[in-house]
Chains A and B, each alone.
Chain A
Amino acid sequence: MTHRTKRHLMSALALAVFVSVHSSPLLAQASIPADIRSKLDLLTQEQVEFLGTDQPLRVIASREKLYQDLERRTPEQIEQYVSDMIDAVEAHAYRPGVDMAMIPLNPESSRFNSFKVVHPEILKERLREPGPVNVHRYINQWAGIPTFAGAPVAVTPEDLIAGNVDVAIAGIPQSMSSGSRDGRNAPNVIRAMHVAGNLDVYAMVDPGAVLNIVDYGDIAVDRMSLERGLDHVYDMVLEMADTGAVPFLIGGDHSLMYPNVKAVQMSDPDQALTVVHLGANYNAERTRAHAISDRDAVYRLITEGVIDGSDLIQVGLRGSQASRESFEWLRENEVRYYTMAAVEANGWQEVMASIIEQAGGAGNPLYLSLDVSVLDPVEMTAAGRAVPNGLTIREVTPLLRRLCAENEVAGLELMDFAPMLDLSYVSAMNANYMLNACLTGIAMRKQGITEENYLDPTAVDHGQN
């Protein structure tokens, strides 16, 4: 069932378009109340049957409202109403010969692919030995040239190998999909905040000291097309993961989850990943006109067999994107989801314990897909698709620290951060602290601290009595 081939992403998606033919509409007939049925004499048999299917509910909010509408209309008005309704439902679908089936690009362009052509080292004016480049002047540099976690810079896989790099952090400044559009500025704003890679007082571990971290620069995207950027993102992330470094990917919106997860999975195709997806939105819509967006990345990953639904854990769901049918689909695919309703019912500590148990259950390496919208907007104003009633930073950072300490981490992404939406520093700071929580976990593990819920004894007690 799981097919993990190195086939390129866009051709995979184009194919998926043809195999994901939507299940035909439910033909089960609802029984229309007799008093309404008596007003349907002017309708054809097909029209009456149409009213009994689920099709009217694509244009009228509920069956109850449909009956209300029918009740207050004369038979003549009903005839018009139902005829219009059928037209409106039919108008939803693609019209061959009328609608564009695909969006043409300009192959004549002399710079068709220029956005993603990597600068070969040999062409650079000055040659250098491979390895991370330190861009700081001082031993104890504060601020200076902004890099992720204040880390040295690497730009090639050879740099990562020569530097024995544990974690390579790369930006993917992509600004599309459905949220507010400032993902383009996210990597640089997170770099400029420079509070990741620092001592974590809870564990008394300094990931900047323990780990070899680098800033791997940005991965280029086409600002006018998600589709055109996917293969390059995939290639670059695969290249990073193949060196043995853990890719930390700073988006960009959540559509990038598709190439990111696929690349990390493909770097070790026989070892299943467990994906822990934190965010307000479930991102598994399946009926869209577009091949990829933030709203359906999860759907692509599961239906394409890149990951199994049973290896996906979703945390913090609360946006209106997911309907009852969505959750049923998640259940059918054995996805472990933890909504904010579950947190309301059971409390965060219990939910967190269950997440950690599920995450470690299969013994797979973890991929953390961190949509900043998991946090409450008060602590993450700059979420591209913010939803109230989120988790607090005091709830999320222990979860991240523990997941990353108690499991092997294969990759992490931080998605949908739109800095222009926050005039303060708070969102950028919290984004960095979430990164640091996982970096700390990875550093703890490297130091051999893998016991459950470890906190440094000196930090948790002043010891005066």
Chain B
Amino acid sequence: MKNNSRTFKALWLAIAVGLGAYASVVLAQEDEGEEADAPVEFPASLDDKLAGLSEAQLAYLKDSSKTRRYASTTEDLIEALEKRSAEQVEAYVDAMIWVEDQTSFEQGRDMAWLPLNTESPDFNAWTVRRPRSFDPDREPGPVSLPRGIPTFAGAPVALTPEDLIAGEVNVAIVGAPLNMGSGWRDAGYGPLVMRTSGGMAGNDQYTQISPSRELNIVDYGDIAIDNDSTERSMQHVREVVREIAETGAIPFIIGGDHSLEYPNVAALVDVYGKGNVSVIHFDAHHDVGMGDSPHHISHGQPIYRLMRDRHITGSDYIQVGLRSGGPSESGYRWMREQGFKYHSMAEVERYGWEYVMDRVLDEAKRDGRKLHVSFDVDVLDPSYIVGTGTPVSGGLTPREAIPIVRKLCAQQELVGFDIVEIAPALDPTYTTALHSAAIIKACLVGVAMRKLGHDIDYLNPVTIDHAQDNYHEENQQ
């Protein structure tokens, strides 16, 4: 009790939140065309029932922006009042006012913070690293684990930035088993299943390129997660992703849920600077969030948080595959204003996949910046990805997704990649892991293609033609 004010003294945090709130105001979505409607006129037949209401109660009842969620039209409202007694009419208005009062934040009644127990001797236990001196001396560099220990891409293991530097590592694949940001379901086991299922970096027949031969790839272990707090987890994920990127290696983050997009992109901006990173966001959901959630982070709003904290702007974003219930038309308009380049499945239905893919590649190329690919597996159709927390029908096929990922990763400098929302418990079969591995591999192949100097349309000439005739020459397209 004596120290009750102590936790409220985290001044830096208060400042951060204050700035955030300011940014929220700046970014706040304006409801365009929201003019105040004229007060509703009630028929004289209701006079008796309305006579007992106070001025404030009557004004509330006449404000259709307030009553519309209970009675969508004036006629419905009049009908609702007609069948209620004078006493019930008053209770009706009071209940509406009560709901409004209860719904918004009230100082003193509602917590503006979630408390943590700073007295816990294990407050940071989850992030404490094992000192090197606890283990026998070894030279820095990736450690090969022969005889079947499961690692991402069957790669050697690296645990420190020194290991990455000594191994001249190009790609560090790291797990981030966060399963809280969705509030339910089970993305936490994504990294484990992706280690045990393989299929990530062997030979690619399309290009006859084997990423594990062309690139130095390591398994960087898992990033510690506090699965009772998305917010705390993000801080640590950002630190570890940053430490990978600082060595020049490309972090490939295996989630975990899509809240991870926030720390991943923030870490890359930390390293490469504001305005230097574009993000290609593959997802059935827009994940922008638009700032009206009681929480500052969840898997539905990492992009808004990135914008609010001024790591990126909407114009740094290209989105592909959107088809969930949101955003609404006004949400899309707001995204347009913010500069988002979005590509919904409705656009694919209208123009066809090839056309949309070329448009995306062209936009990314014109931005010309370093690239982060954030791949939510639910962009694929649920028939390919059964194991995901928030599936939506009508998604991309692997035959559509693999080429665009390969080409994007080959087209310009890739500085980060994440694949999120793999929830193995929801898929009793191997297919979710298989398709997820194929997407990771497509990107690794792209990175290797760029290193080898191939253009983005490269496919191996021997693979694409049996050469028993001159068919292609004789049938020029």
Say yes or no for B115: interface residue by CB 8 A criterion. Answer: yes
Q: Is the CB of B184 within 8 A of A184?
A: yes
Contacts of A224 in B (CB 8 A): 180-181, 183, 230, 294-295, 298
Would you give the shortest CB distance from B119 to chain A, in whole angstroms? 5
Select A17's contact among B16, B119, B134, B235, beta carbons within 8 Å: B119
Segment at the interface with B among A27-35, A122-130, A263-271 = A122-130
Known contacts: A94-B124, A105-B296, A112-B105. The answer to whether A289 contacts B116 by CB under 8 A is yes
Q: Is the CB of A108 within 8 A of B21?
A: yes
Select B115's contact among A10, A84, A180, A421, beta carbons within 8 Å: A10
Contacts of A59 in B (CB 8 A): 128, 134
Interface size class on chain B is 35 or more
Q: Digitize B96-139: 1 where CB-to-A-CB distance is under 8 Å, 0 elsewhere.
A: 10110011110100111111111111111101111111100000
Would you give the shortest CB distance from B30 to chain A, in whole angstroms? 14
Contacts of B105 in A (CB 8 A): 107-109, 112-113
- In the complex formed, the residue of A with least CB distance to B100 is A117
Q: Is the CB of A100 within 8 A of B123?
A: no
Q: Which of A97, A180, A287, A290 has its CB near the most chain B CB atoms (within 10 A)?
A: A290
Q: Is the CB of A113 within 8 A of B114?
A: no
Select A102's contact among B116, B119, B298, beta carbons within 8 Å: B116
Contacts of B426 in A (CB 8 A): 420
Which chain A residues (96-114) contact chain B, with CB distance < 8 Å? 96-97, 99-114
Select A104's contact among B13, B128, B129, B227, beta carbons within 8 Å: B13
Q: Is the CB of B228 within 8 A of A290?
A: yes
Report Cα–Cα, A290/B122, bound state, in Å.
10
Q: Is the CB of B95 within 8 A of A109?
A: no
Contacts of B460 in A (CB 8 A): none
Which chain A residues (136-191) contact chain B, with CB distance < 8 Å? 175-178, 180-185
Q: Is the CB of B185 within 8 A of A84?
A: no
Report Cα–Cα, A104/B116, bound state, in Å.
11
Segment at the interface with A among B3-11, B323-331, B349-357 = B3-11
Known contacts: A182-B185, A287-B120, A420-B425. The answer to whether A111 contacts B103 by CB under 8 A is yes
Contacts of A14 in B (CB 8 A): 4, 115
Report Cα–Cα, A289/B428, bound state, in Å.
35
Q: Which of A15, A21, A287, A289 has its CB near the most chain B CB atoms (within 10 A)?
A: A289
Report Cα–Cα, A176/B95, bound state, in Å.
32
Contacts of B181 in A (CB 8 A): 224
Q: Is the CB of A103 within 8 A of B125?
A: no
Q: Is the CB of B131 within 8 A of A106?
A: no
Report Cα–Cα, A350/B451, bound state, in Å.
71
Say yes or no for A88: interface residue by CB 8 A criterion. Answer: yes
Report Cα–Cα, A97/B91, bound state, in Å.
50
Report Cα–Cα, A458/B1, bound state, in Å.
62
Say yes or no for B208: interface residue by CB 8 A criterion. Answer: no
Known contacts: A81-B134, A105-B111, A175-B185. The answer to whether A112 contacts B128 by CB under 8 A is no
Q: Is the CB of B230 within 8 A of A127?
A: no
Known contacts: A18-B3, A101-B116, A291-B117. The answer to whether A110 contacts B104 by CB under 8 A is yes
Q: Is the CB of A289 within 8 A of B10?
A: no
Contacts of A242 in B (CB 8 A): none
Q: Is the CB of B295 within 8 A of A227?
A: no
Q: Is the CB of B124 within 8 A of A106?
A: no
Contacts of A20 in B (CB 8 A): 117, 119
- In the complex formed, the residue of A with least CB distance to B122 is A287
Q: Which of B7, B83, B105, B294 has its CB near the most chain A CB atoms (within 10 A)?
A: B294
Contacts of A117 in B (CB 8 A): 99, 102-103
Q: Is the CB of B80 within 8 A of A125?
A: yes
Would you give the shortest CB distance from A141 to chain B, in whole angstroms? 31
Say yes or no for B292: interface residue by CB 8 A criterion. Answer: yes
Q: Which of A100, A120, A291 has its CB near the most chain B CB atoms (within 10 A)?
A: A100
Sampled A-B contacts (10; CB under 8 Å):
A17-B117, A18-B4, A20-B117, A99-B118, A104-B20, A107-B105, A110-B104, A113-B294, A122-B95, A177-B228
Contacts of A183 in B (CB 8 A): 184
Contacts of B179 in A (CB 8 A): 181
Q: Digitize B278-297: 1 where CB-to-A-CB distance is under 8 Å, 0 elsewhere.
A: 00000000000001111110
Interface size class on chain A is 35 or more
Say yes or no for B46: interface residue by CB 8 A criterion. Answer: no
Say yes or no for A22: interface residue by CB 8 A criterion. Answer: yes
Would you give the shortest CB distance from A20 to chain B, in whole angstroms? 7
Known contacts: A112-B104, A120-B99. The answer to whether A22 contacts B131 by CB under 8 A is no
Contacts of B293 in A (CB 8 A): 106, 109, 111
Contacts of A110 in B (CB 8 A): 103-104, 292
Would you give the shortest CB distance from A250 to chain B, in whole angstroms? 15
Say yes or no for A87: interface residue by CB 8 A criterion. Answer: yes
Contacts of B1 in A (CB 8 A): 15, 18-19
Would you give the shortest CB distance from B6 to chain A, in whole angstroms? 8
B interface residues with partner A (beta carbon < 8 Å)? 1-4, 6-10, 12-13, 16-17, 20-21, 24-25, 70-71, 80, 83-84, 88, 91-92, 95-96, 98-99, 102-105, 107, 110-125, 127-134, 179-186, 188, 226-232, 235, 291-296, 298, 425-426, 428
Report Cα–Cα, A25/B121, bound state, in Å.
10
Select B294's contact among A102, A106, A122, beta carbons within 8 Å: A106
Known contacts: A105-B295, A123-B70. The answer to whether A13 contacts B120 by CB under 8 A is no
Q: Is the CB of A122 within 8 A of B119?
A: no
Contacts of A104 in B (CB 8 A): 13, 16-17, 20, 112-113, 231, 296
Known contacts: A100-B231, A102-B115, A105-B114. The answer to whether A289 contacts B183 by CB under 8 A is no
Q: Is the CB of B7 within 8 A of A228?
A: no
Q: Which of B6, B116, B122 has its CB near the most chain A CB atoms (within 10 A)?
A: B116
Say yes or no for A354: interface residue by CB 8 A criterion. Answer: no
Q: Which of B3, B10, B21 has its CB near the most chain A CB atoms (within 10 A)?
A: B10
Q: Is the CB of A91 within 8 A of B128?
A: yes
Q: Which of A108, A111, A185 has its CB near the most chain B CB atoms (within 10 A)?
A: A108
Report Cα–Cα, A53/B425, bound state, in Å.
43
Select B92's contact among A25, A105, A123, beta carbons within 8 Å: A123
Q: Is the CB of B103 within 8 A of A92?
A: no
Say yes or no for A423: interface residue by CB 8 A criterion. Answer: yes
Contacts of A92 in B (CB 8 A): 121-125, 128
Say yes or no for A222: interface residue by CB 8 A criterion. Answer: yes
Known contacts: A113-B110, A228-B294, A291-B115. The answer to whether A122 contacts B88 by CB under 8 A is yes
Report Cα–Cα, A99/B231, bound state, in Å.
12
Say yes or no for A349: interface residue by CB 8 A criterion. Answer: no
Say yes or no for A134: interface residue by CB 8 A criterion. Answer: no
Say yes or no for A339: interface residue by CB 8 A criterion. Answer: no
Say yes or no for A85: interface residue by CB 8 A criterion. Answer: yes
Report Cα–Cα, A228/B99, bound state, in Å.
18
Say yes or no for A3: interface residue by CB 8 A criterion. Answer: no
- In the complex formed, the residue of A with least CB distance to B308 is A106
Report Cα–Cα, A235/B184, bound state, in Å.
23
Q: Is the CB of A108 within 8 A of B184?
A: no
Would you give the shortest CB distance from B77 to chain A, in whole angstroms? 11
Q: Is the CB of B114 within 8 A of A225?
A: yes
Say yes or no for A328: interface residue by CB 8 A criterion. Answer: no
Q: Is the CB of A223 within 8 A of B184?
A: yes
Select A123's contact among B83, B95, B110, beta carbons within 8 Å: B95
Known contacts: A80-B133, A175-B183, A223-B184. The answer to whether A291 contacts B296 by CB under 8 A is no
Report Cα–Cα, A387/B29, bound state, in Å.
48
